[in-house]
Each structure stands twice: as structure tokens, then as C-alpha cells.
Amino acid sequence: MFEEVTQNPILEVKNLSVHFYSKNREVKAVEDVSFVLEKGKVLGVAGESGSGKSTLAKAIFRILPPNGRILKGEIIYKGNNILTYDNKRLQKEIRWKSIAYVPQVSMNSLDPVFKVKDQMLETIFAHEDVSKAEALERIQNAITSVGLPSDIIDRFPHELSGGQKQRVMIAMSMLLNPELLIADEPTTALDVIVQAQILDTIKNIQREKNLSMMFITHDLALLAEISNMMAIMYAGRIVEFGKAEDIYYNPLHPYTQLLLKAIPSIKDRKKKLVSIPGDVPDLSNPPPGCPFNPRCPLAGDICRRETPELTRINGSHYVACFMVGKNA
């Protein structure tokens, strides 16, 4: 699968399922997800809140909470299935050193009682045996690369704005020169101008370092701008996967079509905005068949009975839908 998409994969996820457990519930947060990311490219992952995007990111970085469990699947980084690694090996070889992660609302991840410099030094010393002078030089370079003044490292987090904190987290993620960055809604909770600045910073870093990136957001228009490939998630599953321009301009899944119809257009002021009826399903009790069928205007009997598999339609365009070819 996905042979048409890439010849040089840095990350392959195969049939990954992640469930969360409480006393009386089992939540199927990610279900049978597969995709591939090519070296030096950007994969955008989109979907409504509760679609499983952040859980997917945490599963790849192996930082699921205690009640989360990977039931099956493979996470293959540069040919190695990192699900077979114990925590010590993950910490030494993968986290931050090979794969970096900027979490959702990551500005809250900074420790309020330590200066920025001390937190960045800790990240370096935990993975590499370098002198303090060398580490500080690397920190200065990382900070200036995200458009911040070098003296900001001597401040405490509460002395920084939201945008500055986010830039610090991006700089921190680059300290060990990872090859893959997972950015989980990195512009959330920031005003529009700061969002644009942060996005430009990420794009510049990606280009300069030829970084592979998984960029997660609910904003399809933003993904069309930044991504090479795009994956649309719904109810823990990938329902559409392909080149970003193909999905944005020629969506084949009814869910993707409706998401795009909900985006206002500056060019077309007469465009009628459409909201998707109904609610995201309860993943502890998902509907039978296609998970989108209760909200889908095209749903037929087969959609209520069977779950469609992600299937190649043409080129590198894959869709999980029995009604491909019809418009929602």
C-alpha cells in the first residue's frame, strides 16, 4: 500500500489502533490507521476535534497517558519498528534526537519556575555529552532561528507572550537536529497575526533543514498551503489520503467535501457556507458500518452495514467510501 506515494519513506504507520480504558468504557481513539511520510516532505493531518489526530501524534512519539494502549500495528521510522523499543532506547535514540514533538497548546509545557535557558540546557544534556559553552551556543542559534532575541533565554516563561513561548518550544524541538517534527496544532490559542508568524517560522525551518513534518490542524486551507500530502481523519480513522492539492481541489470523501464547504472564501463572497449535521460519534460506542454514515447525506444501506477500507482511487489518492464519485 502507498507504493505510488513515496520511494523514500522516513515514517510508515501500518494498521495502528489505539484505545483508552476507564472503569466502564473502551474508547477506540485510533482505529486501523495506515499512512506514509516521505523524507523531506510535509504530511498534513486534518479533522474535527475528537477525530484522533492528537492521539495519533502521541502514539507515534510514544507518550500516551497510562490508560492508553496501542492494540496493534507498526510505527516504522527509517526502517525500524519503534513499537519494539523499550522506553530507555526510545529516549536515547528517538525522542527529540530523531523525532521531535510540539504538543497542542505547547506554550503551557514550559516549566514556570525555571528560566528558558535552563530548560533548554536540560534537553541537550539529557541526550548528549557536550560542554555548557557548546550547548549555550546551540541554544542561541536555535532561539535566533525562530526570530527571537538571544537574551530571551534568561527570562522565565511568565515573562513571555504566548507567541514567544510557542517560538521557544519550536526552538527547543530543533535543539538535537531531529529529522522528523510532529507539530500538533502549533498555532492554536494565538491571535491571527501571531499564527501567521509562527506558521512562517515553521515553514522556513522545514525548508532550511529539509525537515520531514507531520502537521496537525483542523484548518484544511492552511494544510493546502503548507503540506505535500494530506490525511483526513474522522472518528479515529483516515478516510481520505493523497496529495494536498488533489484533496483540497478535488475531495472525494463526503466528509472532506463538507469540511471544505464550511470554509469561508475571500474570493467568492457569495459562497454559501455549509455546516455538517449531527455530532462526532461516541468512540466508545461507534455506529455500525462507516462511522460517518449517521451524518452523511449520501449514506446507503451498505454504509450502515460495512466499514469501507482505504482504497486507491487514482494515482496517489486513497478514499474509504462506498459512494466515491458522488458529491455531498
pLDDT per position as a tens digit, 111-122:
999 999 999 999
pLDDT of residue 71: 98
8 Å CB contact between 35 and 53: no
Q: Which residues fall within 8 angstroms of residue 13, CB to CB, at 6 or more apart?
A: 33, 34, 35, 36, 56, 60, 73, 74, 75, 76
pLDDT of residue 52 exceeding 90, the answer is yes
pLDDT of residue 296: 96
Banded pLDDT at 6 (limits 50, 70, 90): low
User: Could you report how far apart the first and last alpha carbons of the chain are, in Å?
Assistant: 27
**CATH architecture designation of domain 9-94+180-319:** 3-Layer(aba) Sandwich (3.40)
Residue % of the chain over a pLDDT of 70: 96
- Give the model confidence (pLDDT) of 55-103 as tens digits: 999 999 999 999 999 999 999 999 999 999 999 999 999 999 999 999 8
8 Å CB contact between 11 and 212: yes
Output 224 or 19, whichever has higher pLDDT: 19
pLDDT of residue 4: 59
8 Å CB contact between 30 and 18: yes
pLDDT of residue 172: 95
Would you call 236 helix, strand, or coil by DSSP? coil
Task: Kindly state the helix (H) or strand (E) to which residue 17 belongs, with its residue range.
Answer: strand 9-21
pLDDT of residue 264 exceeding 80, the answer is no
pLDDT of residue 41 exceeding 60, the answer is yes
pLDDT of residue 272 exceeding 80, the answer is no
Q: Which residues fall within 8 angstroms of residue 171, CB to CB, at 6 or more apart?
A: 120, 139, 142, 143, 145, 146, 148
> Pairing relation of β-strands 237-243 and 80-81?
unpaired
Domain residue spans of the chain? 9-94+180-319, 99-177
Residue % of the chain over a pLDDT of 90: 79
8 Å CB contact between 217 and 46: yes
Q: Cα 110 to chain center, whole Å?
A: 20
